[in-house]
Amino acid sequence: MATYELVLFTFLALVSSQAFASDPSPLQDFCVAYDMKSDVFVNGLVCKNPKYVKPEDFFFSGLDKAGDTSKNLGSNVTLVNVDRLGGLNTLGISLARIDFAPKNGLNPPHIHPRATEVLTVMEGTLYVGFVTSAPEFKLFSKVLNKGDVFVFPQGLIHFQFNFGAVPAVAFAGLSSQNPGLVTIANAVFGSNPPISDDVLAKAFQLDKKTVDWLQAQFSNSN
């Protein structure tokens, strides 16, 4: 292969990889999700006939209401994705409200496999951060106050923590109609069926008794 052909092939490969790095672009003005429980599986959801689309298909109400933060972690995420707002189908975006209890309200380390997240603090103070991939595993963290914005790149482990004395509220935009969620501790110690405790004991350099205890805690939380 000639040098210029190799360069062209490499360029096209890079462009293609970027083009498919997020939700596919819509091929029409909108594609309101038709049937959330359909047995037909596509990359997204089947479109409703535009003749039957209503303003309500693009409307959601309730993000003015605080979520319940009384559970163990002291946080509550109200996610508005395509499952709750059919008009988001094919538009590559969703929104979340995150409420934090005062003094230790935590949105624990997690990833969104299909979305970058941009978060802005509406009330209170949050300590937030994300960790890069191997080999650096570098932590980028910041204390955010009201009006501050922070970005969490797609697929990287990140968290938000309220160490303040008052409740905190944040809103997050995500670059997918269905960003997905993998909470690290729940995935590792609460999987169904469970990961072998031999594997986890070796991976985390723990004794099996400790692993078994952790698995019991997270299996009960799912």
Within 10 angstroms of residue 35's Cβ, the number of other Cβ atoms is 11
The annotation status of 192 as a binding-site residue, yes or no, is no
Which one-letter DSSP state was computed for residue 191? -
CA distance 211 to 61: 42
The verdict on whether residue 43 carries a ligand-binding annotation is: no
Dist. CA 89–CA 176, nearest whole Å: 9
CA distance 130 to 194: 27
**76 known ligand binder:** no
Pairing of strands 149-152, 94-100: unpaired
Residue 112 assigned ligand-binding role: yes
Cα–Cα distance, 91 to 24 (Å, whole number): 8
Q: Is position 81 annotated in a ligand binding site?
A: no
Binding site as annotated, residues for Mn(2+): 110, 112, 117, 158
Binding site as annotated, residues: 107, 110, 112, 117, 158
Binding site as annotated, residues for oxalate: 107, 112, 117
